[in-house]
Structure 1
Amino acid sequence: MAILVTGGAGYIGSHMVLALVERGEQVVVLDNLSTGMWWAVQPEAKLVEGDIGDEALLDRIMAEHRFDAVVHFAGSIVVPDSVRDPLGYYLNNTVKSRMLMACAVKAGIPRFIFSSTAAVYGNVPAEPVFEDRPPAPVSPYGASKLMTEQMLKDSHAAYGLQFIALRYFNVAGGDPRGRIGQSTPRATHLIKVACQTALGQRERLEVFGTDYDTPDGTCLRDYIHVSDLIAAHVDALDYLRKGGDSGIFNCGYGKGYSVLDVIRAVERVNGAPLPVQYAPRRAGDPAAIVAGAARVREVLGWQPRHENLDFIVETALNWERKLALRNAGG
């Protein structure tokens, strides 16, 4: 049996492919390479260049391989972009996910693991947010992911499709051995941007908003190392294979760090101050969001190994150095 990984050439998806290959799984990657990198896909995996909205392509791939699971990462993820282009986000994140789901059901694929987001919660109090909190997304990005969660619930009820939706908090860092990392040229992730600034690849780091209702006035987020996030996906796959119930799980550490906390961590790890420019708030950014993360540990047996902000920053910074050499032809 094989596993279909959509968006497997992207940041998080490529880490999933690496983990699956290392445990001896047969992996097929479907990615349109709009933001992903072909070289980030492990050579043991088969890469198919194409779009998850292409029904004929999906039917062909699913007929050629015996998949026992789809792990779905493909999608658009920039909150401000979703505010500017909501219909584009609903097309890419919701309509195309519906096509992927329909083809999986038609092909008899029994399991589906979905890359969701904490953005489904919207503006929440500073204390941890748990899975039973009613979703109230404040951006089209969050709404587009919530719609896909609902389609999964309905498909489970109607067709028996077993699913796990993992609501990511803020994913950062790179493979601890430096093999892959966040490689998207125009990525907006704070830790990546801060590391690029530390290496002189950006003139300055912009801090969007200093007047939030948080301890230091900047946004508060729960940062999770990408390798720990992928471990939760692997645990979810094993759980479903053993007959576990479908469900939705937060993926975070249950700790909040502010934008200024991240800046200080990058300065510590890099040993030099960062040039910072303060700017107005961005549309769609909640003030604070921290995971209530007990359920993923209790039900899936997830045990994070990299629960440390400085380690996350260190692996991100190491990857940026390696990526700069690669991009320079070194």
Structure 2
Amino acid sequence: MRVLVTGSTGYVGRVVLAELAAAGHTPLPFSGDVRSSDAVAGPGEADAVVHLAGLARVRDSFDDPVRYYDVNVGGTVNLLRSPPRRFVLASTAGVYGAAGVATIAEDCPRAPANPYAASKAAAEDVLAWAAAAGRVSGVALRLFNVAGGGDVDDTRVITRACGAASGRLPAMDVFGDGSAVRDFVHVRDVARAFVAAVEREEDGYAAVNVGATPASVADVLGAVARVAGREAPVVRRPAHPGEVRELRADTARLRAWGWRATDSDLDALVRDQWAAETRRHP
């Protein structure tokens, strides 16, 4: 299939292009403004769209929520004006908010707690309604904590821990005892999830979790020490009131499509990121 990929020059986008090509598809990179007329024209040349482009900083979204809705929702609406049959949206596990369960399945109620996650939930809704109207076969992939592959976002736990261990960043803040568990997944496994979604044979709409390896901040710091042979310096801070202790992804729906995480072992995630870190900061 010919697959238009928005956000193709980004952290996830570059890997999605490679995995689509490896699976025998023809990726069509699009790295412009998804709100433009060029974006609307692009899907006409494709058999599917993988929509990765968007704004994704939680803290920034509080400062400019209108811009986040304009790009994340408006860009999705624009691409859906003349879509190909298959449409895969990059969403976020943030749409669940502070879920009241340790393991999150896709039927868990959405309760986004910031404008970024809320804009992604709204984009999901637009895609779901378009699918209900028969315009597209749509999938929203709710990504948990994407890591590895040379991530350069220092707000992410594994990237920041490696940066602190190398000395490129100051000591890492650890809130509470570092035992809160989150779900991590390698960017290559994420890219393969997009391939699986493009190749999905069912019609209609599906929201699907993408996660792989539950680990705490303490686990991450231990893995960094093993891989790097040095510990990341930390500063202990009080725990955030009401912090959710565990957030794990139920990935049964994605695994039913034949997807398996192959690169998301915690030490492998850290090893990959540490190799990139040492290239950046020898």
Q: What TM-score does the superposition give when structure 1 sets the normalisation length?
A: 0.79
Q: Is the 8 A contact 2:99 2:108 kept in 1?
A: no
- Match of 1:27, SS state, is strand
1:81 and 1:59 mapped to 2: Cα distance? 27
- Residue-by-residue CA offset, 1:269-298 (whole Å, 9 max, x unaligned): 101111112346689975532111112112
How has the CA–CA distance of structure 1 residues 323 and 245 changed in structure 2, closer, same or farther, with 3 Å as cutoff? farther
Q: Is the 8 A contact 1:79 1:284 kept in 2?
A: no
Match of 2:66 among 67, 79, 87: 87
2:239 and 2:135 mapped to 1: Cα distance? 43
Counterpart for residue 78 of structure 1: 57
Which structure 2 residues correspond to residues 33-112 of structure 1 after superposition, within 5 A? 50-54=32-36, 56-62=37-43, 66-104=45-83, 109-112=84-87
Deviation at 1:91, TM superposition (A): 1.6
Counterpart for residue 257 of structure 1: 215
2:138 and 2:247 mapped to 1: Cα distance? 24
Which structure 2 residues correspond to residues 116-265 of structure 1 after superposition, within 5 A? 116-125=91-100, 127-174=102-149, 181-183=150-152, 187-207=154-174, 209-210=175-176, 216=177, 218-239=179-200, 242-253=201-212, 255-265=213-223
Given the alignment of the two structures, is residue 3 of structure 1 paired with residue 3 of structure 2, yes or no?
yes
- Residue-by-residue CA offset, 1:192-222 (whole Å, 9 max, x unaligned): 1111122221122223x32xxxxx4554210
1:114 and 1:271 mapped to 2: Cα distance? 39
Q: Give RMSD over aligned pairs.
A: 2.3
Amino acid at match of 1:91: D
Deviation at 1:171, TM superposition (A): 0.7
Counterpart for residue 18 of structure 2: 18
How has the CA–CA distance of structure 1 residues 57 and 195 changed in structure 2, closer, same or farther, with 3 Å as cutoff? same
Amino acid at match of 2:259: W
Q: Is the 8 A contact 2:132 2:205 kept in 1?
A: no
Deviation at 1:78, TM superposition (A): 1.7
- Residue-by-residue CA offset, 1:23-56 (whole Å, 9 max, x unaligned): 342222122xxxxxxxxxxxxxxxxxx21011x2
- Residue-by-residue CA offset, 1:69-99 (whole Å, 9 max, x unaligned): 0001111112222223222221221122211
- Residue-by-residue CA offset, 1:285-316 (whole Å, 9 max, x unaligned): 75532111112112x11122124111110011
How has the CA–CA distance of structure 1 residues 125 and 29 changed in structure 2, closer, same or farther, with 3 Å as cutoff? same
1:200 and 1:305 mapped to 2: Cα distance? 30
1:25 and 1:285 mapped to 2: Cα distance? 42
1:294 and 1:122 mapped to 2: Cα distance? 20
- Match of 2:168, SS state, is coil
2:170 and 2:116 mapped to 1: Cα distance? 28
2:159 and 2:242 mapped to 1: Cα distance? 20
Given the alignment of the two structures, is residue 301 of structure 1 paired with residue 258 of structure 2, yes or no?
yes
2:49 and 2:277 mapped to 1: Cα distance? 30
Counterpart for residue 30 of structure 1: 30
Q: Is the 8 A contact 1:138 1:284 kept in 2?
A: no
Q: Which runs of 5+ in 2 are unaligned?
A: none
1:250 and 1:75 mapped to 2: Cα distance? 19
1:103 and 1:281 mapped to 2: Cα distance? 47
- Match of 2:111, SS state, is coil
Alignment identity in percent? 36
1:60 and 1:217 mapped to 2: Cα distance? 48
